[in-house]
Amino acid sequence: MADLKIPNLNMNSDKYIFKKKLSLRRKSKRRLFIESAFMFILSLFLVYINYLIPNKNLLIQNLLINLNKSFLIIIDLISILYEVFLVIFIIFTLFSSLILLIGSFYRIYRIAKRQTRQISYK
């Protein structure tokens, strides 16, 4: 009887399992002010970094040309990698076929060399 488990009817259903873990309190004004000051300082820092980059207009104008060149380089890289993997596959298959041929000749040699012993048990 100790192993009998009776369901607890006071338990909430599963769809409300995480509802109590949400923080429903409002943030204080001090905390909101600190977060907004931090966001303002971070935005000023990003604008300053952007200001330090030279030739921004030229970089933006050449963006499409650079994307096109990089796309062509990626296509060339894929074709070269295809050829490299094909050569590796050829070498691997030649090596494995050589091992299989040597193994088959060795078995044929052992079969031909084996002396048959017929032992009769009467």
Q: Catalogue the E-assigned strands of the chain.
A: none
Tell me what pLDDT residue 27 has.
Answer: 84
Do 70 and 93 fall into the same domain? yes
Q: Which residue has the higher pLDDT, 91 or 21?
A: 91
Say how far apart CA 6 and CA 4 lie, in whole Å.
6
Question: Residue 117: which pLDDT band, with cuts at 50, 70 and 90?
Answer: low
Range of the domain at 32: 26-54
Residues 42, 68: one domain?
A: no
| Residues 104 and 84 placed together within one structural domain of the fold | yes
Closest-CA residue to 44 (of 36, 34, 32): 36
Q: What digits encode the pLDDT tens for the residues 82-105?
A: 999 999 999 999 999 999 999 999
Residue 90 lies in a domain: yes
| Number of domains, the chain | 2
Residue 84 inside a domain? The answer is yes
**Rounded to whole angstroms, what are the CA distances from 64 to 55, 61, 69, 76, 99?**
16, 7, 9, 19, 53
pLDDT score of 66: 94
| pTM of the predicted protein model | 0.44
Task: Identify the CA nearest to 100 among candidates 92, 88, 112.
Answer: 92
Asked whether residue 68 falls in the same domain as residue 110, the answer is: yes
Q: Is residue 12 over pLDDT 60?
A: no
Angle at 46 between CA 43 and CA 48, to 5 degrees: 110
Look at residue 81 and tell me whether its pLDDT is greater than 80.
yes
